[in-house]
Amino acid sequence: MNSEEIAINVAIIPPEEIITLAVEINKESNKQGNKTKDLRMEDFIPHITLFMGIIKSKDLTNVRLELEKLIETTRSFKLTLLEIKESQTHPSEESYISVEKNDNLQKLHDKITSILSKHTLNLATPTHLYDGEKTGIGKNTKNWLETYAKTSTYKNYFPHLTLRCKKIETKELPKTFMVNTIGIFHAGDGATCRTLLKEYNIKK
């Protein structure tokens, strides 16, 4: 691990029932004979990214404090998971649950982007990732971490919940939940949420 710089993913942590749903969809896809990647309750955590990138480790304290001030003025809001869709980059292997982009979500993303974008660096390497020395860094991961602030924010923000498995059918969607928790994670390959660095609870 690079002790001076770190890959982070700031994300909505869904309630337990939503995390369980995502994990069960992943397991069911595996049962159907499809290749799947890890998705679990406490590692490779199902999430909805709000921002990702590389920052200096020394900036992490300030980032935590700035986000804490933001969350103090934020109120819990409803969010709806819509349907499972195939990934455009790996349609035969990857899928995600599309997420309604309502005003509350867009505003939260915009404010977090405003805080984080001034801290992000332009080069991502395996040493920035959780367990990166073992996993290496995939081409897509490198691109996401290096370009997210410029290409995937504000009007280009695309909220979704990655399932890390081939698309299957489910009768569990659409499903609405309350956004109550935000986390800063040390990101792994695939921009996965591996280790929780800081958790924020949103006021109801």
Hey, what domains does the chain have and what are their CATH numbers?
A: 5-199 (3.90.1140.10)
Would you state the pLDDT for residue 147? 98
- What does the pLDDT read at residue 2? 64
pLDDT in tens, 67-126: 999 999 999 999 999 999 999 877 778 999 999 999 999 999 999 999 999 999 999 999
Q: Which residues of the chain have pLDDT under 70?
A: 1-2
Q: Do you find a cis peptide bond into 174, omega within 30 degrees of 0? A: yes
pTM: 0.95
